[in-house]
């Protein structure tokens, strides 16, 4: 096992009994599950991004809009056994108008696939992360038995997130359905101990993995002992935790997997999202970002040293922006030096005015007293005035009251 807590203090939620005696969750439990899964994938503790993610039992794909906004994800597989529900919710997978207006920095491919969670197919190779929320309780025993073989034996993802109902919470859901469960398609509902036993058995069978447990949907204050309404297991491969792998990762399908070379998931829909291809060199990206920040800082009073008549911008101002480019302070300094941007100690030194910035020109250089017009600096006659892009006054009929001057 390993210890895990959601970053930034976890979720802010509440649970209460309404006037009719029903239990209510705020936000709804399904939102808490989705948000928790996304925050686990985004957690910086892993030290890396997950590029290829599969969402098993995706149903109407309500998790997808959140998944596709997780930085680093470039390939999402939405998998469900119900072809009709995939087709009827296909619009959720299509790019929005905003995706074309504000293009992604990285590629993203989304595929809707009809298939079972226990089928070891080629489309599942090289998956980094598995999300399987509220699906295992819907599986028949044989399918459930094959799930660990497929995921931890065949796929071997870096991380896998499972959730399932906590049956101890059912005392607050009386009466239950005729099958004794919360949903008419549930084949079982486990206590916390049963879920933990299942997860720990997986880690014994596949020793490259360790597991941590969470829950979403808190019980009311006077029922805390029953745990959360939904329980979560996070399986992390040891190399993701900075530990040595017990066994080498397999490059071939293990014999105990439910695999068939001729079996593939049925593709219902696939789409590639628009994205920008940035062909700038790393040095050019650093320079462009530095110049943008320099221009911004020249308009911030606290950086201006009035005694010296210059802006002194701390190099630390650039840290966050440069890190997003995967660059170091040393690389930044080299780029600044190569482009004649002055650095003294821990500060970038900027002149009070940028000669290329028209907003900083002195009024004395820009105002023509004779004609009463603003003009480019250095133009002192009619010919120069026209050449510099100023206003020609060859027509004596032009006045300030002329409609043409209200520009």
Tokens coding 105: 């920095």
**Would you state the torsion angle of the CA atoms of residues 169, 171, 174, 177, taken in this order, to the nearest 10 degrees?**
60
Average pLDDT (242-267) is 78
The SS3 assignment for 162 reads strand
> 232 and 335 in one domain?
no
What pLDDT, in 10s, does the model give residues 82-134? Answer: 999 999 999 999 999 999 988 898 899 999 999 999 999 999 999 999 999 99
On whether the CB atoms of residues 132 and 117 are closer than 8 A, the answer is yes
The SS3 assignment for 352 reads coil
Q: What is the percent of the chain where pLDDT is above 90? A: 64
Separation CA 289–CA 283 (nearest Å): 10
> 34 and 141 in one domain?
yes
> 346 and 303 in one domain?
yes
- Model confidence at 47, pLDDT cuts 50, 70, 90, reads very high
Indicate whether 277 belongs to any domain.
no
Separation CA 221–CA 273 (nearest Å): 45
Query: What's the CATH number where 229 sits?
Result: 3.40.50.150
> 248 and 134 in one domain?
yes
On whether the CB atoms of residues 237 and 81 are closer than 8 A, the answer is no
C-beta atoms surrounding 24 within 10 Å = 12
Examine the pLDDT at 153 and tell me if it is beyond 50.
yes
Q: What is the percent of the chain where pLDDT is above 70? A: 84
β-bridge mates for residue 314, sequence order? 347
Indicate whether 69 belongs to any domain.
yes
Indicate whether 86 belongs to any domain.
yes
The total domain count for the chain is 3
Examine the pLDDT at 176 and tell me if it is beyond 70.
yes
> 291 and 268 in one domain?
no
> 343 and 252 in one domain?
no
Last residue of a domain, one of 226, 249, 272: 272
pLDDT at 136: 98
Examine the pLDDT at 260 and tell me if it is beyond 70.
no
What pLDDT, in 10s, does the model give residues 282-313? Answer: 999 999 999 998 888 888 889 999 988 899 99
pLDDT at 9: 87
Residue corresponding to tokens 């906590």: 166
Q: Could you tell me which residues come within 8 angstroms of residue 189 by beta carbon, excluding any fewer than 6 positions away?
A: 137, 164, 165, 166, 167, 170, 181, 182
Average pLDDT (165-192) is 91
> 184 and 138 in one domain?
yes
Average pLDDT (382-402) is 46
Indicate whether 193 belongs to any domain.
yes
> 114 and 19 in one domain?
yes
The SS3 assignment for 368 reads strand
10 phi, psi to nearest 5 deg? 80, -160
C-beta atoms surrounding 131 within 10 Å = 26
Examine the pLDDT at 403 and tell me if it is beyond 90.
no
pLDDT at 404: 41
pLDDT at 254: 65
> 296 and 149 in one domain?
no
> 369 and 310 in one domain?
no
Indicate whether 188 belongs to any domain.
yes
> 320 and 225 in one domain?
no
- Model confidence at 378, pLDDT cuts 50, 70, 90, reads very low
Examine the pLDDT at 202 and tell me if it is beyond 70.
yes
pLDDT at 251: 60
Given its phi and psi angles, is residue 343 left (phi above 0), alpha (psi -120 to 50 degrees) or beta?
beta
> 268 and 120 in one domain?
yes
Indicate whether 151 belongs to any domain.
yes
Indicate whether 84 belongs to any domain.
yes
Last residue of a domain, one of 243, 272, 301: 272
Residue corresponding to tokens 């549930």: 186
Indicate whether 356 belongs to any domain.
no
Domain carrying residue 328: 282-351
On whether the CB atoms of residues 392 and 382 are closer than 8 A, the answer is yes
H-assigned helices in 89-191:
97-101, 141-148
β-bridge mates for residue 98, sequence order? none
């Amino acid at each position: 096992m390993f210890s895990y807590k959601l970053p930034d203090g976890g979720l802010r939620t509440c649970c209460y009994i309404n006037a009719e005696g029903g239990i209510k969750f705020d936000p709804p439990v399904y939102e808490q599950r989705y948000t928790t899964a996304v925050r686990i994938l985004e957690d910086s503790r892993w030290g890396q991004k997950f590029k290829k993610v599969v969402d098993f039992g995706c149903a109407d794909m309500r998790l997808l809009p959140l998944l596709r906004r997780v930085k680093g994800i470039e390939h999402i597989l939405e998998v469900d056994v119900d072809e009709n529900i995939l087709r009827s919710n296909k619009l959720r997978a299509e790019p929005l108008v905003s995706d074309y207006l504000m293009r992604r920095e990285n590629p993203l491919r989304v595929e809707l696939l009809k298939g079972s969670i226990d089928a070891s197919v080629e489309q599942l190779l090289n998956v980094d992360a598995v999300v399987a929320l509220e699906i295992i309780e819907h599986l028949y025993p044989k399918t459930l038995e094959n799930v660990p073989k497929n995921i931890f034996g065949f796929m071997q993802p870096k991380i896998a997130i499972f959730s399932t109902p906590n049956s101890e919470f059912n005392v607050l859901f009386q009466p239950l359905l005729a099958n004794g469960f919360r949903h008419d398609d549930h084949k079982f509902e486990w206590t916390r101990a049963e879920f933990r036993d299942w997860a720990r058995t997986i880690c014994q069978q596949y020793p490259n993995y360790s597991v941590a447990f969470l829950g979403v949907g808190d019980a009311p204050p006077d029922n805390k002992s029953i745990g959360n309404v939904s329980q979560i297991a996070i399986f992390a491969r040891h190399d993701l935790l900075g530990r040595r792998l017990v066994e080498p990762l397999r490059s071939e399908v293990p014999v105990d997997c439910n695999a068939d070379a001729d079996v593939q998931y049925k593709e219902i829909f696939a789409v590639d999202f628009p994205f920008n291809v940035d062909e700038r060199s790393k040095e050019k990206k650093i320079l462009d970002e530095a110049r943008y920040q320099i221009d911004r800082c020249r308009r911030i009073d606290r950086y201006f040293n009035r005694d010296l008549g210059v802006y002194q911008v701390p190099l630390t101002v650039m840290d966050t922006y440069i890190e997003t480019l995967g660059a170091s302070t040393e690389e930044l300094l080299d780029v600044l030096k190569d482009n004649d941007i002055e650095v003294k100690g821990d500060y970038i030194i900027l002149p009070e005015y940028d000669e290329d910035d028209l907003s900083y020109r002195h009024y004395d250089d820009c105002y023509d007293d004779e004609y009463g017009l603003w003009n480019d600096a250095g133009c002192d006659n009619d010919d120069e005035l026209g050449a510099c892009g100023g206003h020609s006054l060859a027509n004596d009929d032009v006045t300030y009251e002329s409609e043409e001057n209200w520009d």
